[in-house]
C-alpha cells in the first residue's frame, strides 16, 4: 500500500508539473487578429428558464464589434419567462439581425439539441456559433473566435471559460473548473489536438455539421458539446482551442445543486472518455499524499511527500486559474483547492457506479455509449420485454 500511494503521489506531481508547462505554453500562443477576415456568422442561443443575469448575458452577444452576424434565440416552452427578456432585447437592438424561434418539436432525449435543431432552419450563414445561455462575452469575441477558420481544415473552434459565482456551492464549482478541469484540458491540448468542445463556445461550419449528421446525430447524447467536437474530429477536421476566455455566469447555487451538477458531469466524462476518467486516479495527489501521511503514521517522509505534492498542486491551480484564466474566484478562494480535491475524489468514486441522472427535471439513464434514455421509456421497454417473456413462458 505504501509503495502504491508513493507512486500515486509521484504520478500526480508529474501531472501537475506538465499542467504548469501546458498552461505556460497556452498563454504564450500568438494572439494575432486578421481584421480582414470576418465571415458572416449565425449565433444559435438555446434558452430554457431565467439564468442569473440573463439580460446582460444575451445583450453581450448583441454588442459585437463585427460587420455581419445573425442571432437566433431558441426556446421550447411558450410560457418560458425568458421569452419576455428576449423580446426586450430585440426591441433594444433594432439594427441587429435577431429572431426568436419557439418550438416544442423534439428530435431526441436531449431537449437542448432539439431546441438547436428547431432554430437551424432559420440560420442564414455558413459559420454557426453555439453558446450556452449563461455565457457573457466582450465586443471582440466574434472577431477573435472565428480566426482559426482561416484554415479550411479547421471544423470546430471552442473556448475555455472562467466562472462568476455566488454562494458556496457555485464557488466550489468555479474553483473546480478553473484549477482542475481546465488544467486537464490544457494538458490534453498540449499532448495532442483536442477532439472535444465546450458549450461555452462552439464555432462550427454548417457543412461540417451536415457531414456528421446534423443535430439529429447527437440528439440522444447527454454530452452534446463533446460530440460536436468529437464527431468532426473523427471525420478528419481540426478542433482548435481558442485563446479567448469567456465568462460563465453561475450565479447563486447551493452546495447540493452544485454537487448534483458535478456528479452528472462526472457520469458524462466517464461515458465519453472512459479511460481518461479512470486515469484521473493518477492525478489525485492531494488525496494520495494525505493517505500516505496516515499510512506512514505521520512520518517525516509522509509529511515531505504531502508538502511537495500540495505545493505543486497549488502552484498549478494558481497558474491555470488566476494567471491564464484571470479567474476572480480562484484569486479570492484559492485556499479551497485542497477541500475541492477531497470532495472531487468522492464524486469520482461515486460516479464509477450507476448511470442514472436527473437533468432539467427529467430522470434519465445513460447507456454505455453516452446516450440518454428517459426512465419512463426505459420502464416501458422493460415491461414490454417481460410481457414477451411471460407470453412465451406460458
Task: Point out the residues that are catalytic.
Answer: 225
Are 189 and 324 a contacting pair, CB within 8 Å? no
Cell numbers found for residue 142: 466574434
Q: Which residue has the cell 498552461?
A: 23
**CA of 299: how far to CAs of 7, 288, 303, in Å?**
17, 15, 6
Element housing 391 (H / E): helix 375-393
Q: Which residue has the cell 450563414?
A: 125
Q: What are phi and psi of 359, to 5 degrees?
A: -145, 120
**CA of 231: how far to CAs of 83, 95, 107, in Å?**
32, 36, 19
- The rounded radius of gyration (Å) of the Cα atoms in the chain is 22
Q: Which residues of 349-366 are buried (b: 16+ CB within 10 A; e: fewer)?
A: eebeeeeebebeeeebbb
Cell numbers found for residue 204: 462550427
Cell numbers found for residue 179: 484549477
Q: Which residues of 187-218 are buried (b: 16+ CB within 10 A; e: fewer)?
A: bbbbeeebbbbbbbbbbbbeebbebbebbebb
Which pairs from 27-31 meet CB under 8 Å and 24+ separation? Answer: 27/323, 27/324, 29/243, 31/243
Pairing of β 362-366 and β 372-374:
antiparallel
Q: Which residues of 369-378 are buried (b: 16+ CB within 10 A; e: fewer)?
A: ebbbbeeeee
Nearest to 82 by CA among 132, 117, 120: 132
Amino acid at each position: 500500500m505504501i509503495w502504491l500511494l508513493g507512486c500515486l503521489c509521484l504520478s500526480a506531481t508529474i501531472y501537475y508539473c506538465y499542467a504548469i508547462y501546458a498552461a505556460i505554453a497556452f498563454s504564450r500562443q500568438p494572439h494575432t487578429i486578421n481584421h480582414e477576415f470576418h465571415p458572416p456568422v449565425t449565433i444559435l442561443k438555446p434558452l430554457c428558464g431565467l439564468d442569473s443575469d440573463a439580460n446582460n448575458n444575451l445583450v453581450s452577444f448583441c454588442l459585437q464589434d463585427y460587420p455581419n452576424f445573425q442571432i437566433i434565440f431558441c426556446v421550447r416552452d411558450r410560457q418560458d419567462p425568458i421569452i419576455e427578456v428576449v423580446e426586450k432585447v430585440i426591441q433594444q437592438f433594432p439594427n441587429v439581425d435577431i429572431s426568436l424561434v419557439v418550438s416544442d418539436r423534439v428530435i431526441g432525449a436531449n431537449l437542448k439539441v432539439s431546441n438547436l435543431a428547431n432554430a437551424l432552419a432559420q440560420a442564414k450563414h455558413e459559420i454557426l456559433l453555439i453558446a450556452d445561455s449563461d455565457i457573457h462575452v466582450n465586443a471582440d469575441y466574434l472577431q477573435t473566435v472565428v480566426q482559426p477558420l482561416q484554415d479550411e481544415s479547421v471544423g470546430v473552434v471552442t473556448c475555455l471559460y472562467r466562472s462568476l459565482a455566488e454562494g458556496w456551492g457555485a464557488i466550489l464549482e468555479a474553483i473546480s473548473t478553473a484549477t482542475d478541469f481546465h488544467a486537464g484540458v490544457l494538458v490534453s491540448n498540449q499532448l495532442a489536438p483536442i477532439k472535444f468542445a465546450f458549450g461555452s463556445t462552439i464555432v462550427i461550419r454548417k457543412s461540417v455539421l451536415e457531414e456528421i449528421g446534423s443535430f439529429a446525430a447527437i440528439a440522444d447524447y447527454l454530452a452534446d458539446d463533446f460530440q460536436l467536437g468529437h464527431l468532426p474530429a473523427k471525420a478528419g477536421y481540426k478542433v482548435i482551442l481558442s485563446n479567448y476566455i469567456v465568462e460563465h455566469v453561475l450565479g447563486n447555487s447551493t452546495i447540493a445543486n452544485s454537487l448534483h451538477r458535478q456528479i452528472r458531469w462526472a457520469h458524462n466524462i466517464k461515458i465519453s472518455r472512459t479511460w481518461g476518467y479512470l486515469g484521473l486516479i493518477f492525478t489525485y495527489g492531494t488525496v494520495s499524499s494525505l493517505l500516505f501521511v496516515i499510512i506512514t503514521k505521520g512520518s517525516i517522509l509522509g509529511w515531505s511527500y504531502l508538502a511537495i505534492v500540495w505545493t505543486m498542486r497549488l502552484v498549478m491551480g494558481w497558474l491555470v486559474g488566476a494567471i491564464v484564466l484571470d479567474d476572480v474566484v480562484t484569486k479570492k478562494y484559492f485556499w479551497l483547492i485542497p477541500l475541492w480535491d477531497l470532495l472531487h475524489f468522492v464524486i469520482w468514486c461515486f460516479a464509477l457506479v450507476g448511470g442514472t441522472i436527473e437533468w432539467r427535471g427529467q430522470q434519465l439513464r445513460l447507456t454505455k455509449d453516452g446516450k440518454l434514455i428517459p426512465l419512463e421509456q426505459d420502464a416501458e421497454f422493460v415491461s414490454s420485454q417481460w410481457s414477451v417473456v411471460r407470453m412465451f413462458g406460458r
